[in-house]
Structure 1
């Protein structure tokens, strides 16, 4: 959870920079980005995975950019493993 709170704090700073450059609807999405997180976990509560979240999908948003970077890195890692096999 600490990973998300750190990024959410950065999102608060990001809001100040972006507010005069975007419309009201986009600003609302950025303001409410990742205010709701739903996790799925195993029975022993050792592993957890993000199941649902409300994200703004703005590429400059710290939370959304971090999540997209992790997703892209995983995809790239899987491709590299496949190439390495061949």
Structure 2
């Protein structure tokens, strides 16, 4: 039997850690949330994609610098919270 790490959201990933995108949620606000989820997927946050948290901004830990493929993006914590991931 193998141990599989539980799903977490991208905003809780530790700096330097890698993970695989599992799901992008639309969040609470229906119309705005769907647009934001669609935009994240257009940027490359799609199921199966490998990502890495490069850095958290100071103060307050925002924005988060995320590497997706060969691109780097800055996300706010509430945006990162929409992305469910499987840590490696």
TM-score scaled by length of structure 2: 0.28
| Higher normalized contact order (CA 8 Å, seq sep 6+, divided by chain length) | 2
| Higher fraction of strand | 2
TM-score scaled by length of structure 1: 0.28
Bigger Rg, structure 1 or 2: 1
